[in-house]
Amino acid sequence: MPATPAAPAPDFRTEAQSLQDDLVTLRRTLHQNPELGYQLPFTQKTVLDELAGLGLEITTGESLTSVVAVLKGGRPGPAVLLRGDMDALPVVEDTGLDFASTNGNMHACGHDMHTAGLVGAARLLAAHRDELPGSIIFMFQPAEEVDGGAQPMIDEGLLDAAGVPVVAAYGIHVEADERGRFSTKGGPLMAGFADLYLTVHGAGGHSSQPQATRDPVPAVAEIALALNTMTTRSFDIFDPVVVSVTQLEGSQASNIIPDTAKLVASIRFLSPNSIALLQERVPEIAENIARAHRCTAEVDFQVGFPVTMNNPAETRTAIDRLGEVFGSDRVQEMEVPRMGSEDFSFVLEKVPGTFVFLGATPEGIDPNAETNHSPRVQFDDGLLGDQAAALAHLAFARLLDEVG
């Protein structure tokens, strides 16, 4: 990709000011009506209504209520993908906002902001259709907070929607951080994750006669400690792994030694090498400790999202372009990755691109007080114009790269 010091894209930041009020209204409508998982009928209909009249080629998902909208430019060229996720969380909102949700769910991770911002980007880019040297794919995605809706959308043809190759993909995620600050880095940005479900099988009996049993509980307890030790003895500290044992289960009464004991753990990793080694070491540790206790271990290792891997060249260019539009003081290059996970990683496995964080804590609120997923977290929808403009600028400028 040629390095372009200043892409001659339209002044989307100025143009976005005229959309600000409409985007705030849209965001607050979505915020009041949050939906969970793969099926988001109200959200999907709202997005379709907002996109009507823009001249986009629209398809909806078969296995989930996704929306894929394609803007065909007036000049030939490849495609750029822009993504916004749409689902909420099963969190009872406690913000006190006059547009707060009352249905027991909450947009506590800002996906209502992402959806409204992507609608804004679609409007900005559609207004410059004739100048656009290629196509834009707008990816409105359900189910980021659960199993991951990105992969089903890819399976249903997302990356082929424009009929031309996708040369880059971008997404922006709001977070509880300094208002208006864009943050990202090249290489690993967010961790991949896996869930570990482990069962130790023994032979139960009365708690007064443990010698007559093959007690699985001490084995599970020892495995839990060994997994944490493993992270510092098997993995490089500069390629970290986090193992958090979150559930332990034995018998239902104090005087019963159970036949089985169970352990559940959440695992985060930052490289393909780490997940490969985890899949080798975890069963080895569990099975050998269980054997020492005259028990057996059953290991179910379920890999979820891969590492969110930003393309270094795309990210360098994105950082420079965001600085040109919004000022270098509003753009921060991160030093280390985050250990949270994100299913935009499935897109970035197939398409070079970058994922960017946008600090959106309202003025007067401590950005460290409440984090994403808190029932009290708030995001400033006064930033929606900037969010839309950033997406539009990154996409338009990237297509201009392809035509020199």
What tens digit of pLDDT does each residue of 332-349 get? 999 999 999 999 999 999
Q: Which residues of 316-335 are buried (b: 16+ CB within 10 A; e: fewer)?
A: bbbbbbbebbbeeebbbeee
Confidence of residue 386 (pLDDT cuts 50, 70, 90): very high
Residue 230 has pLDDT above 80, yes or no: yes
Domain boundaries, given as residue ranges, for the chain? 12-190+307-402, 192-303
For residues 25-41, average pLDDT: 98
3-state secondary structure of 357: strand
- Statement: residue 404 has pLDDT above 90: no
Distance CA 143, CA 43 (A): 12
Strands 256-257 and 67-72 come out as unpaired
19 contacts 388 by C-beta, under 8 angstroms: yes
Q: Distance from first CA to last CA of the chain, Å, rounded?
A: 10
Spell out the CATH class of 192-303.
alpha beta
Q: How many CB atoms lie within 10 A of CB 86?
A: 27
Task: Output the CATH code of domain 12-190+307-402.
Answer: 3.40.630.10
- Cα angle, residue 121 at apex, residues 138 and 348 outer, rounded to 5°: 45
**CA distance readout (Å), 70 to 51, 277, 319, 397:** 11, 41, 25, 17
Q: Taking residues 102-118, report their average pLDDT.
A: 98
Contacts of residue 203, defined as CB under 8 A and 6 or more positions apart, other chains included, come to 213, 214, 259
